[in-house]
Amino acid sequence: MRLKLDIDPDLVAMMQAEIRAGEKAVTGAMREAGVGLKTAWRGQITGAGLGRRLANSIRNATYPKAGDSLNATALVWSKAPVIVGAHNAGPLIRSRDGFWLAIPTEAAGKSLRGGRITPGEWERRTGLRLRFVYRRRGASLLVAEGRLNTKGRAVASRSKTGRGRTTVPIFLLVPQVRLPKRLDLARDAERAAAGVPGRIVGRWAEGKMK
């Protein structure tokens, strides 16, 4: 006696199709979550007034880069991690040498190399000497004897009589400063992670209906 067992539908084919659907669902969900988190972080940065350039430093990628996988992952990161991390943590900043932090005023202008100008660069650029003024209350000062130009920048006075010359605060000196916490990146990351299971189920069910 010969017995023959035919299974219809083919269970092996069904399982393979289910695995493929799962791979597409997981990969699609992770890709969507990564894009959503990148958008949320960029929105936080621009909303905090930190500028579009810093916001655009947020990037994302989904792995594997080609094909689908049940182990797909999404990575969201910043190309300026130190700056973004500082605004996310709100750290206490101290001088490296243990003395003062020099914070430039409007009269100091900007560095020719970009960013904040230092006292040394300011003296070399203007040819003026900075003088230390200690104050018991509030920040101490680095001041210079000169005049303010039409842009509000301190420059050397050309007057031989001293007309228009004044003492201009160039830098505020403080022992330390706490950078205000302006971002909460963990909040958006937690929301993105919490939404992943629902995204997977939704995509898996959608794929089976097609």
DSSP-derived secondary structure for 99-134: S-EEEE-GGG---TTSSPPPHHHHHHHH-PPPEEE-
pLDDT band at 206 (very low <50, low <70, confident <90, very high): confident
Q: What is the pLDDT of residues 41-54, one digit of tens each?
A: 999 999 999 999 99
DSSP 210: -
> How many percent of the chain have pLDDT more than 70?
89
Q: Taking 90 as the threshold, does the pLDDT of residue 88 lie above it?
A: yes
Per-residue pLDDT tens over the stretch 171-195 = 999 888 788 899 999 999 999 999 9
Q: pLDDT averaged over the chain?
A: 87
Sorting pLDDT into bands at 50, 70 and 90, what band is 110? confident
Q: Provide the pLDDT confidence category of residue 133 given band limits of 50, 70 and 90.
A: very high
Whether residue 164 is predicted with pLDDT greater than 80 in this model: the reply is no
| Whether residue 6 has pLDDT greater than 70 | no
What integer pLDDT is reported at residue 183 of this predicted model? 95
- In the predicted model, is pLDDT for residue 200 greater than 90? yes
pLDDT for 7 beyond 80: no
Write out the DSSP string of 3-42: -----SS-HHHHHHHHHHHHHHHHHHHHHHHHHHHHHHHH
Q: 35 near 60, Cβ under 8 Å?
A: yes
Q: What average pLDDT does range 108-128 have in this prediction?
A: 86
Q: Which residues of 76-100 are buried (b: 16+ CB within 10 A; e: fewer)?
A: bebeeeeebebbbeeeeeeeeeeeb
DSSP label at 60? E
Q: Identify the pLDDT of residue 148.
A: 80
| Predicted pLDDT at 3 | 57
Total-model pTM: 0.66
